[in-house]
């Protein structure tokens, strides 16, 4: 099964506590803002299960099906967030280098925002990827299939067009957009013990890690978040006065 994110939960979860550190360039707030920005522009993708794979793995597995996402991958989350968070004077054109999924995603994001997109694509890329990019109304700029050529041609294209470079995995707004997968899966599958995330440049991993590490998950988290503060102030600490999943970072 081709799924972007696999999550695992043991039957008797003990829960974990994760805290944000202030040193990340992308914060929980950035991911929350990304979630608001991309709402209505992306699908909340389904989570599927498979009992045969559960038996093989000896645990319950949950597959977050980002392959059913708009443009066919999670990349649209980061692309929409990046384009929508550009200041209005910079929101005139966008440029990226990508052999496929980010290129298609940025092409659609730019089309939605009514601005041109220039996608630098290696001349060896599959024709179907180029035609998908063209289908979303972007312009394809050919480069050699090397990192050096990609970067050089993208830099030249930025210079010629005045567009903003939206890097496929290093741009903080792209990372924050991909992090919204983390919010969704925690809401869809309470009590998860582990997330297994594919890594290319690391943008999706970083975004999901920021989102998930900032949230308290499971019974131990419940104890720390609600019960201990209640005992301390000798009054009931309600869910609404505490950080919900996808809410504020833990105190």
Catalog residues that contact ligand PLP under the rule CB under 6 A: 4, 73, 101, 169, 198-205
Smallest distance from ligand PLP to CB 193, Å: 22
Looking at the Cβ atoms of 202 and 218, the one nearer to ligand PLP is 202
Can you give the C-alpha Rg of the chain in angstroms? 20
Looking at the Cβ atoms of 181 and 217, the one nearer to ligand PLP is 181
Degrees (nearest 5) of the Cα angle 164, 42, 17?
Answer: 95
Choose the catalytic residue: 60, 73, 98, 99: 99
Smallest distance from ligand PLP to CB 137, Å: 21
Encode burial over 151-183: b for 16+ CB neighbours within 10 A, e otherwise: eebbeebbeebebbbbbbbebbbbbbbbbbbbb
Smallest distance from ligand PLP to CB 228, Å: 37
DSSP state at residue 117: E
Smallest distance from ligand PLP to CB 141, Å: 18
Chain centroid offset of residue 40 CA: 15
Assess contact for 211 and 33: CB atoms under 8 A. Answer: no
Looking at the Cβ atoms of 94 and 205, the one nearer to ligand PLP is 205
Smallest distance from ligand PLP to CB 50, Å: 19
Provide φ and ψ at 140, rounded to 5°. Answer: -100, 130
Provide φ and ψ at 47, rounded to 5°. Answer: -110, 130
Active site residue 98: no
- As separate numbers, helices (DSSP H) first and strands (DSSP E) second, the chain gives 10, 8
Active site residue 75: yes
Assess contact for 172 and 25: CB atoms under 8 A. Answer: yes
Choose the catalytic residue: 75, 84, 129, 130: 75
Looking at the Cβ atoms of 66 and 157, the one nearer to ligand PLP is 66
Looking at the Cβ atoms of 172 and 203, the one nearer to ligand PLP is 203
Q: Please state, in angstroms and rounded to a whole number, the distance separating the CA atoms of residues 149 and 6.
A: 34
* Active site amino acids: 75, 99
């Amino acid at each position: 099964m081709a799924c972007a994110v696999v999550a695992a939960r043991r039957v008797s979860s003990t829960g974990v506590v994760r805290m944000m550190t202030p040193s990340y360039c992308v914060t929980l707030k950035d991911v929350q803002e990304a979630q608001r920005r991309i709402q209505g522009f992306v699908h909340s993708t389904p989570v599927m299960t498979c009992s045969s794979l559960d038996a093989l793995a000896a645990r319950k597995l949950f597959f977050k099906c980002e392959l059913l996402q708009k443009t066919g991958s999670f990349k649209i989350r980061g692309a929409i967030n990046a384009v929508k968070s550009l200041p209005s004077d910079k929101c005139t054109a966008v440029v990226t280098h990508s052999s496929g999924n980010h290129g298609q995603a940025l092409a659609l994001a730019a089309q939605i925002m009514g601005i041109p997109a220039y996608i630098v694509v290696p001349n060896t890329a599959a024709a179907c990827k180029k035609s998908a990019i063209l289908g979303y109304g972007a312009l394809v700029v050919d480069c050699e299939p090397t990192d050096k050529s990609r970067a050089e041609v993208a830099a030249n294209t930025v210079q010629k067009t005045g567009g903003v470079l939206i890097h496929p995995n290093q741009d903080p707004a792209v990372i924050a957009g991909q992090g919204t997968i983390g919010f969704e899966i925690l809401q869809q599958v309470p009590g998860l013990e582990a997330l297994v995330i594919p890594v290319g440049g690391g943008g999706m991993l970083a975004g999901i890690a920021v989102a998930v590490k900032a949230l308290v998950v499971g019974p131990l988290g419940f104890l720390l978040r609600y019960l201990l503060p209640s005992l301390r102030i000798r009054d009931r600490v309600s869910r609404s006065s505490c950080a919900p999943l996808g809410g504020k970072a833990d105190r």
